[in-house]
Amino acid sequence: MTLRFTLRVTTLVAIVLVAAIVVSWASDHLAGVDGLREAPPTPGLLARGAYLAKLGDCAACHSVPGSPAFSGGLRMMTPIGAIYSTNITPDPRYGIGSFSLSDFDRALRFGVARGHTLYPAMPYTSYANAKPEDVAALYAYFKHSVTPAAAENHREEIPFPLSMRWPLTYWRWLFAPRAVPFSAAPGTDARLSAGAYFVEGLGHCGECHTPRGWAMQLKAFRPSDGTDYLSGAQVNNYFAPSLRSTGPGSLAGWSEADLEQFLTTGANARGASFGPMTEVVEHSTQYLTKADAASTALYLKSLADTDVTGHAGASDGQAAPDKPQAGSGSALGATAYLTNCAACHKPDGTGIEGTFPRLAGNPVVQASNAVSVVAVILQGSQTARTSATPAQFVMPPFNRLSDNEIAAIATFVRGSWGNQAAGVDAALVHQVREASAP
């Protein structure tokens, strides 16, 4: 009786698994959208494709120093192991040279490449709103303007059975949005719609600035999904700050002009890019046309949950008392700041615009999560190098300081000159130091 029952259960499980694999295969092979039309590679189409590739920041993952452009090879750590970006040059063997336009569309917007679901490190969940004509322009660019590179793709470093791809289909079914081309709601301002198309789509801003759920899925893809959208999230040793306009630690005090300047140069009077965002500015947003930069700024400023007005970034010139934290008294914080930081950021935290970012009223400094402040002090930073700002200024790492000293400095700047963020303790500094060690 027990043997018969076991056989029945085993058979049932096998049938379910086979059915699941068949359904997964069918879904992966049949994904697509009507309206795709391959067009002749005219100069205008190729230029549009090149611009869209910059907006999508394709080079950030698919190009690595010392290798041909777009030949892949970037190693990315995931909770289950390391994966590598793939070759997207038109090489017929290792790249996408044999991809049809439909194949390209399935990979870009559905996350399905030649019959298997891609790891969601590829932000297809954001690219899902790409318009058919833009998909065709990107396809033409990669097929006709990118030099083929016979660079073999790296195998992922994920142990079996986690390395099996077919379960990713179910992740996609559960968590990816429907791949529907973007269309503006009737009566929507054209500039606002253009900003939404970039931020929610190819700009994939939510991939870093929106928190993730238990299965590493984004909690929101657009404003209609709730206030989690672009509300800030930790990415490795950095906190990508809120891009909403509500309260301290957000863009409440930034104007549209501030945002335009930041996107195209990496800095403005209120702060400067750091960490991964510097690369985004250098490889992507500096290339925004004036109209697209203005539309993006308008859209981001529309993401306000209430009428709360945040800090405008003004400094009162006075340092607030350091909040007592473990191992970081007020005297230590003030002294360490004056000794190590004030020469560039000034004693009143106002910095020097375009060179050394201000700390007073800086949304990153005031963010609820202090990990970015700690990471920048430990690891240093550098300004973005763009066509508008070719000179690059470097902040050296201060990892020679003790955990207590760095915690004291971070606490001091988060509670001074009108800043009102919570203090930092040495345990967080130690955690970031360990995580960022070579």
The pLDDT tens digits of the residues spanning 390-422 come to 888 899 999 999 999 999 999 999 999 999 999
Pairing, β 233-235 against β 116-117: unpaired
User: For the chain, how far is it from start to end, CA to CA, in angstroms?
Assistant: 59
Whether the bond into 161 is cis, omega within 30 of 0: yes
Answer yes or no: are the C-beta atoms of 206 and 124 closer than 8 Å: no
To 5 degrees, how large is the angle CA 333–CA 268–CA 411? 15
292 or 15, which is more confident = 292
Of 208, 42, 21, 5, nearest to 125 by C-alpha is 208
Query: Is residue 213 over pLDDT 70?
Result: yes
Answer yes or no: are the C-beta atoms of 232 and 211 closer than 8 Å: yes
Q: What is the mean pLDDT of the chain?
A: 87
The pLDDT tens digits of the residues spanning 48-97 come to 999 999 999 999 999 999 999 999 999 998 888 999 999 999 999 999 99
Query: Is residue 16 over pLDDT 70?
Result: no
| Rounded Cα gap, residues 216 and 206, in angstroms | 13
Helix runs in 145-269, H state only: 167-175, 190-197, 206-209, 256-265
The pLDDT tens digits of the residues spanning 129-151 come to 999 999 999 999 999 999 999 99
Query: Is residue 183 over pLDDT 80?
Result: yes
The pLDDT tens digits of the residues spanning 163-175 come to 888 899 999 999 9
State percent of the chain over pLDDT 90. Answer: 72
Can you give the pLDDT at residue 233?
Answer: 94
Can you give the pLDDT at residue 35?
Answer: 65
Q: DSSP assignment, residue 223?
A: G
Can you give the pLDDT at residue 3?
Answer: 56
